[in-house]
């Protein structure tokens, strides 16, 4: 055991270890209520986290950290809650530019009358860059540090996301009909392969393949997408059984559920995330569990489009990791993961008649460690533990709405909003400090988004 003599040096109490030195690190976040989301669900009042080279070195009582480490940058949390950054397991970032364009419609009418035509006229690399900047700004401001995306021109999304400092599992969309970045599925596959190569080994961006859905792709393309994913050990993101109409289509065309049809093609495997997974029977759920598929639950989008209620408690009971997603902002209409947590917790109480169906602790887990498991990234993110990447957020609990606070977990799910996030850190880099975003020019991002909104308005005659 090392002997420690605590002396005061500058702002920090610095320990003299057996070697006479306290360890120099990049960052210490101190004086926080640390909600770790680790295996023991530890909450440390008066806690601190030491970070070096983008990784968490230690999570402990503030005095312990200050005696063992000296930091180049210290953030005094002033009693705020420090928790793992939130993981949005399903969105379409640039669709923030269609926010509020068409509401109160069912999925197929919404897609076919509004979204697909608007996309055909407005999606371009420039549009995607502007939309992703706006989405990144909103995510940083509301505490999302990792997001899974499915869209077009995904390489543009990758570059903007990396510059903004966020972590992304970004899937290049493949779809049967001609779209802005590909005339044919073959073009889409070629573009996807180039995308996988461009971002291979990137620290923040995990390039993925995003075949849109079983009802928008033929058998050969679905199988080609799976084969490419296997060749590159890349994640696969797909929409699954989102609506009753999809189930009906699958039954008619293949005499099988969408889940079983995709299984019959050899589509399911690890590193695969199914978004929505609403219309599943028990056999489908068992199948996804046995194939180690992760699920992204999107309560707000499913409610808004009246798609149905995913059987989240049943999926979780079989061991399927279920993360939370917002879906694109056009069907939500924001990217606030705190709202996603709250709606998940409330929705399943209502539909099951059981107030314990999704308790606050589970909703918070779904937005953090379970989301990481669903993306098979729980070795790197999802909890505050030694060795993991330093993706974390500070949340103020000082508002009237949050007073008093008996239980931080309850407050994070039932009263906190994205705006309560004060500081956002990804990979040890501070992206927002005390509400000031450091990696994006907020005014410029909003100005640019409004330029594109005018084009969207002209394109759809609104």
Instruction: Find the shortest distance in angstroms from Cβ 308 to Zn ion.
Output: 15
- Cα 409 off chain centre by: 19
Token pair for 387: 């060795």
Closest to Zn ion by CB, 66 or 332: 332
SS3 278: coil
Token pair for 302: 């499913």
Cβ contact 459:121 at 8 Å? yes
The rounded distance, in Å, linking the Cα atoms of 204 and 163 is 10
Instruction: Find the shortest distance in angstroms from Cβ 239 to Zn ion.
Output: 6
Closest to Zn ion by CB, 34 or 170: 170
Paired with 282 in beta bridges are none
Closest to Zn ion by CB, 240 or 412: 240
Token pair for 269: 């495997």
Closest to Zn ion by CB, 151 or 338: 151
Count CB atoms within 10 A of the CB of residue 396.
Answer: 19
Among 175, 233, 183, 161, smallest CA distance to 439 is for: 161
* Residue 209: partners with Cβ closer than 8 Å, 6 or more residues away: 171, 172, 174, 192, 196, 225, 228, 229, 234, 235, 236, 237
Count CB atoms within 10 A of the CB of residue 442.
Answer: 15
Which residue minimizes CB distance to Zn ion? Answer: 327
Closest to Zn ion by CB, 327 or 391: 327
Instruction: Find the shortest distance in angstroms from Cβ 423 to Zn ion.
Output: 29
Token pair for 190: 């070629």
The H helix count followed by the E strand count for the chain is 17, 19
Closest to Zn ion by CB, 300 or 327: 327
Q: Which helix (H) or strand (E) holds 421?
A: strand 421-426
Q: Are strands 23-35 and 81-84 parallel, antiparallel or unpaired?
A: parallel
- Using CB under 5 A, list all residues that contact Zn ion: 327
Instruction: Find the shortest distance in angstroms from Cβ 138 to Zn ion.
Output: 17
Cβ contact 142:337 at 8 Å? yes
The rounded distance, in Å, linking the Cα atoms of 149 and 434 is 27
Closest to Zn ion by CB, 272 or 423: 272
Sequence-distant contacts of 15-23: CB under 8 A, at least 24 apart: 15/67, 15/68, 17/68, 22/67, 22/68, 22/69, 22/70, 23/57, 23/68, 23/69, 23/70
Instruction: Find the shortest distance in angstroms from Cβ 304 to Zn ion.
Output: 12
Closest to Zn ion by CB, 151 or 199: 151
The rounded distance, in Å, linking the Cα atoms of 331 and 326 is 8
- Cα 435 off chain centre by: 20
Closest to Zn ion by CB, 90 or 167: 90
Instruction: Find the shortest distance in angstroms from Cβ 111 to Zn ion.
Output: 10
Instruction: Find the shortest distance in angstroms from Cβ 331 to Zn ion.
Output: 8
Q: What angle do CA 76, 77, 78 make, to 5 degrees?
A: 90
Instruction: Find the shortest distance in angstroms from Cβ 150 to Zn ion.
Output: 6
Instruction: Find the shortest distance in angstroms from Cβ 90 to Zn ion.
Output: 6
Closest to Zn ion by CB, 226 or 276: 276
Instruction: Find the shortest distance in angstroms from Cβ 411 to Zn ion.
Output: 29
Closest to Zn ion by CB, 51 or 213: 213
Instruction: Find the shortest distance in angstroms from Cβ 56 to Zn ion.
Output: 31
């Amino acid at each position: 055991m090392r002997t420690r003599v605590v002396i005061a040096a500058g702002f920090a109490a610095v320990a003299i270890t057996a070697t006479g030195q306290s360890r120099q690190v990049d960052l210490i976040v101190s004086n926080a209520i640390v909600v770790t989301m680790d295996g023991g669900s530890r909450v440390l009042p008066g806690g601190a986290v030491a970070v070096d080279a983008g990784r968490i070195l230690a999570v402990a009582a503030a005095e312990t950290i200050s005696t063992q480490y000296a930091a180049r940058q210290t953030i005094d949390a002033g009693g705020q809650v420090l928790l793992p950054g939130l993981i949005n397991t399903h969105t379409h970032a640039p669709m923030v530019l269609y926010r509020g364009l068409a509401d109160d419609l069912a999925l197929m009418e919404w897609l076919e009358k509004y979204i697909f035509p608007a996309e055909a006229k407005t999606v371009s690399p420039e549009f995607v860059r502007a939309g992703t900047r706006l989405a990144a700004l909103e995510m940083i401001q509301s505490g999302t540090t990792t997001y899974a995306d499915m869209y077009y021109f995904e390489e543009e999304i990758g570059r903007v996301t990396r510059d903004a400092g966020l972590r992304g599992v970004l899937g290049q969309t493949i779809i049967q009909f001609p779209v802005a970045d590909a005339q044919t599925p073959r073009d889409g596959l070629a573009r996807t392969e180039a995308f996988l190569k461009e971002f291979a080994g990137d620290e923040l961006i995990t390039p993925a393949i995003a075949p849109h859905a079983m009802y928008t792709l033929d058998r050969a393309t679905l199988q080609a997408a799976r084969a490419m994913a296997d060749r590159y050990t890349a994640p696969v993101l797909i929409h699954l059984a989102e609506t009753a109409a999809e189930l009906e289509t699958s039954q008619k065309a293949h005499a099988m559920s969408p889940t079983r049809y995709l299984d019959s093609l050899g589509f399911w495997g690890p590193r695969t995330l199914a978004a929505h997974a609403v219309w599943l029977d028990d056999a489908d759920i068992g199948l996804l569990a046995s194939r180690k598929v992760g699920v992204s639950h999107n309560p707000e989008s499913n409610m808004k489009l009246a798609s149905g209620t995913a059987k989240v408690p049943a999926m979780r009971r079989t061991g399927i990791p279920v993360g939370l997603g917002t879906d694109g902002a056009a069907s939500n209409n924001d990217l606030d993961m705190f709202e996603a947590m709250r709606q998940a917790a409330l929705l399943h109480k209502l539909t099951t008649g059981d107030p314990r169906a999704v308790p606050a602790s589970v909703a918070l887990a779904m937005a953090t460690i379970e989301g990481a498991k669903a993306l098979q990234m729980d070795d790197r993110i999802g909890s505050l533990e030694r060795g993991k990447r330093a993706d974390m957020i500070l949340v103020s609990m000082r508002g009237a709405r949050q007073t008093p606070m008996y239980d931080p977990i309850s407050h994070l799910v039932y009263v906190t909003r994205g705006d309560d996030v004060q500081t956002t850190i990804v990979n040890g880099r501070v992206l927002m400090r005390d509400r000031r975003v450091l990696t994006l020019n907020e005014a410029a991002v909003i100005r640019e988004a409004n330029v594109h909104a005018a084009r969207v308005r002209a394109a759809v005659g609104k």
